[in-house]
């Protein structure tokens, strides 16, 4: 018998939560639908679908050209050209010797460039040279004797360093003064140029930094009085930014006191403050819960438990223990198989988290030989006697008698026995 106090606003809709007469309906089949063969895509629609256009082993063709009538596969596109001399024939030309070579030389004589610049030979101008020019050692021009080297012309020879006359010549020709030497143009000075200083000397000031920071001070240390126009000072007062003061925006009212407060003064005894503006003061109808709160209003998604189903849980569990975890998990797999790290591990990661080492790796039990090789690889290779003592202490910390211990217990044993340097 139905409870008369419960009103169902949708009496004609079937509630969820029980197996219907039809087998392929219900929550289970919505989450894990069975594979079924659909009606298929019509032939005149297939050319528009990506699954048909991007199928394996097929050429990608635009749907506008699928129905075009094309020539057979043996058809050759392009223009047929006449046969000509091929590249191998040009590269392996044999017409350079014998009668063909002689005929070729006769034809090449018609070109002026072949006479002046023959290929592989020196150009001939048909000059009539004297007999002595035929000697291989013959050279044109006039022979010259050895002269000074360019280095001695550009730089002073070491042999002339003590010669004052030669040094003056190099100063005149090259301007070669010594390092730090004053230039001398041989002026007829009435004074000693080496000790005289040109220019006007400034008056020695004893308070230069103060004078620089306070340039308006005169020699008598009193500010200078300058008379300027009032509109200039008013412009500076309104336009400039004064240190430690609010900028004057020409809104000064002489009738406003320093304790004046701007704004509207409310007439109510309990005016609205910031908290009331944020939270408001709603009436009962505004804070009353909606009638649909706690009830499914979408058709087909109402889970009404039957009598005896009070402990029944609808939907998919957060941790998917109902399905088997795949051996190779895809990046697109969003299921939680119970091996997800806690939020505290994301906020405060462990010491070796960046190396992919989990804290559980230190607690895993390992064989004695594996422990010995592991610590030897990181620089802690112990002798057999010392290693045996550390291993027995690690077994006591693990609480086992077998030939196993954890890496964390072995580290603790090393710290206790003082072998961790």
Instruction: Tell me which residue range forms the domain holding 395.
Output: 353-417
Strand (E) or helix (H) holding 367: strand 365-367
**How many domains does the chain fold into?**
1
Any domain includes 297: no
pLDDT in tens, 343-374: 887 788 888 887 878 888 888 899 999 999 99
User: For residues 380 and 181, what is the distance between their CA atoms, to the nearest angstrom?
Assistant: 71
For the residues 270-284, what does the mean pLDDT come to? 78
Any domain includes 189: no
Residue 31 sits at φ, ψ, to 5 deg, of: -80, -45
pLDDT in tens, 251-263: 767 677 878 887 7
Any domain includes 381: yes
Alpha-carbon distance values, 406 to 116, 248, 398, 412, 413 (Å): 95, 76, 7, 10, 11
User: For residues 297 and 149, what is the distance between their CA atoms, to the nearest angstrom?
Assistant: 109
pLDDT in tens, 64-112: 888 888 888 888 888 877 777 677 665 665 666 666 677 777 777 777 7
Any domain includes 366: yes
Any domain includes 404: yes
Any domain includes 405: yes
Any domain includes 204: no
Any domain includes 270: no
* Position 5 confidence tier, pLDDT thresholds 50, 70, 90: low
């Amino acid at each position: 018998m139905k409870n008369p106090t419960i009103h169902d606003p949708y009496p004609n809709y079937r509630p969820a939560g029980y197996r219907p007469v039809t087998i392929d309906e219900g929550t289970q089949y919505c989450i894990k639908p069975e594979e079924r063969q659909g009606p298929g895509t019509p032939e005149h629609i297939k050319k528009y679908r990506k699954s048909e256009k991007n199928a394996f082993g097929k050429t990608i063709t635009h749907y506008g050209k699928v129905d075009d009538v094309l020539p057979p596969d043996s058809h050759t596109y392009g223009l047929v050209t006449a046969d000509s001399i091929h590249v191998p024939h040009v590269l392996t030309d044999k017409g350079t010797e014998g009668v063909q070579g002689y005929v070729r030389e006769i034809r090449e004589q018609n070109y002026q460039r072949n006479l002046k610049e023959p290929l592989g030979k020196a150009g001939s101008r048909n000059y009539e040279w004297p007999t002595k020019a035929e000697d291989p050692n013959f050279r044109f021009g006039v022979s010259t004797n050895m002269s000074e080297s360019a280095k001695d012309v550009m730089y002073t020879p070491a042999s002339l360093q003590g010669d004052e006359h030669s040094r003056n010549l190099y100063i005149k020709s090259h301007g070669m003064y010594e390092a730090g030497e004053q230039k001398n143009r041989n002026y007829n000075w009435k004074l000693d140029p080496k000790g005289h200083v040109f220019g006007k000397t400034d008056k020695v000031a004893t308070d230069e930094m103060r004078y620089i920071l306070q340039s308006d001070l005169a020699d008598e240390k009193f500010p200078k009085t300058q008379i300027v126009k009032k509109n200039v000072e008013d412009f500076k007062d309104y336009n400039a930014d004064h240190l430690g003061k609010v900028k004057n925006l020409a809104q000064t009212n002489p009738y406003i006191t320093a304790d004046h407060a701007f704004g509207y003064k409310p007439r109510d005894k309990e005016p609205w403050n910031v908290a009331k503006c944020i939270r408001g003061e709603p009436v009962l109808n505004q804070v009353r819960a909606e009638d649909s709160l706690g009830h499914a209003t979408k058709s087909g998604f109402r889970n009404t438990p039957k009598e005896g189903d009070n402990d029944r849980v609808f939907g998919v569990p957060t941790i998917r223990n109902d399905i088997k975890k795949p051996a190779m998990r895809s990046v697109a797999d969003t299921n939680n198989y119970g091996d997800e790290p806690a939020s505290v591990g994301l906020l405060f990661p462990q010491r070796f988290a960046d190396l992919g080492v989990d804290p559980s790796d230190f607690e895993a039990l390992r064989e004695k030989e594996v422990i010995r090789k592991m610590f030897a690889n990181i620089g802690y290779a112990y002798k057999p006697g010392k290693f045996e003592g550390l291993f027995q202490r690690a077994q006591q910390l693990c609480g086992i008698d077998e030939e196993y211990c954890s890496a964390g217990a072995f580290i603790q044993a090393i710290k206790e026995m003082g072998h961790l340097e």
